[in-house]
Amino acid sequence: MNTQELDKKYVLQTYGRGDIEFVSGKNATLTDSDGKKYIDFTSGIGVVSVGHANERVNAAICEQISNITHISNLYNIAPQAKAAEAVVKASGYDMACFFGNSGAEANEGAIKIVRKHGERDGEIKRYKIITLKHSFHGRTITTVKATGQESMHNYFGPFPDGFVYADNMDAIEGLLDDHTAAVMIELIQGEGGVEPQDKVQVQALEKLLKSKQIPLIVDEVQTGGYRTGEFTASQVYEITPEIITLAKGVGGGVPVGIVMTSLKDVLSAGDHGSTFGGNYLSSTAVCSVVEILNELKQSGELEKTSTYFNQELEKFYNAHKEQFTSKVGIGMMCGLRVKDAETLSSIMVNAKESGVMVLKAGRNTLRFLPPLTIKKEEIDEGFTALNTAMSRV
């Protein structure tokens, strides 16, 4: 049997897979089993932030697994402590970290922190968490319910109680009450269509919540790790949340989820845990990825790459305005609104055939999440392929 046949026979069919099997990659260039090359404008949905087969990350992982891969969180793990230090210092916040394996787990951890925090006075049970419509916070039962998209709630109930959805940022204040444990938002909704929140509104919300001593959770699973130009989008928005969740790009391809919080004393030993979270393998990857990203930021290469990518995306957008209605996003988290779903599907199919990988997101959005290490030549080749794809739409 070939890979597709094995997949259909032995793997649950929960994904609408394409008919491509990638066998190797180098930075932003992928090669499939037929030897065809593609420019990757997706980085594995924002994961491979420092490119495919990054030599420094690979070397760090290989060195670590030749010694020890996993022992459990019952003992001190040197790379986990170093990864926590690296992440906290890059963020600029006074926080501490908990390590899990995914963005959903990070958001689950954040929810547990604010729920316990809301009960500490023993008088009012603060359990309610307000999220936004069109949000996406994960695939577990709890984080699916935290997700403000009705279509995600089919089949899987009953769900945990206590999640309320605001239509927009303005509507959050009217939903606050004595039972509110936290507000959880994405500063840029990724799966919801690359939708940035208004900076003034976000800062006003932060000020309001601090006045009421209600924690703000910022889901940075997709925006974290310099995707928006700073290590966190919270820094771009100039706010100080009580909790930030990270995953995807900070692991460079190795599964990781991180809860960073200034509420350092809420959870006690035994309140939360993870068998695999922050083990030697994943935390070594985080250390290497964050080190590389810090260097890109400090050298100015990150800004140079982001500027060039956005310039080329703007040219592409202007050349095809009959198909697109607007350009959205911040930094290297970008999107183009497509006039209708049928056109978006056609673009996706033709892009793949032309040798460039792109994503789609809610609100008929063509989404771009290239590796932050993508080279000028790869950007040029990718947009040449996209222009070819558009000629067939």
Q: Which domains does the chain have, with CATH numbers?
A: 3-53+300-390 (3.90.1150.10), 68-298 (3.40.640.10)
More confident: 150 or 28 = 28
Q: Is the pLDDT of residue 137 over 90?
A: yes
Provide the 8-state DSSP code for 133: B
SS3 305: helix
Predicted confidence band of residue 184 (pLDDT cuts 50, 70, 90): very high
Which of 12-26, 106-120, 367-381 has the highest average model confidence (pLDDT)? 367-381
- pTM of the entire predicted model: 0.96
Using the Cα atoms of residue 8, residue 14, residue 15 and residue 21 in order, give the sign of their dihedral: negative
Q: What pLDDT sits at residue 19?
A: 86
**What is the arithmetic mean of pLDDT over 282-304?**
98
Confidence of residue 183 (pLDDT cuts 50, 70, 90): very high
From 92-101, 111-120, 330-339, 379-388, the region with the lowest mean pLDDT: 111-120
Percent of the chain at pLDDT > 90 equals 94
Q: Does the pLDDT value for residue 30 go beyond 90?
A: yes
Name all contacts of 361-364 with Cβ < 8 Å and 24+ positions apart.
361/190, 361/191, 361/192, 361/193, 361/194, 361/335, 362/134, 362/149, 362/189, 362/191, 362/192, 362/193, 363/134, 363/192, 363/193, 363/195, 363/337, 364/193, 364/337, 364/338, 364/339, 364/340
Q: What is the mean pLDDT of residues 59-82?
A: 98
Given a contact cutoff of 8 angstroms between Cβ atoms, the answer to whether 281 and 65 are in contact is: yes
pLDDT-derived band at 17, boundaries 50, 70, 90 = confident
Q: Rounded to an integer, what distance in angstroms lies between the CA atom of residue 243 and that of residue 261?
A: 4
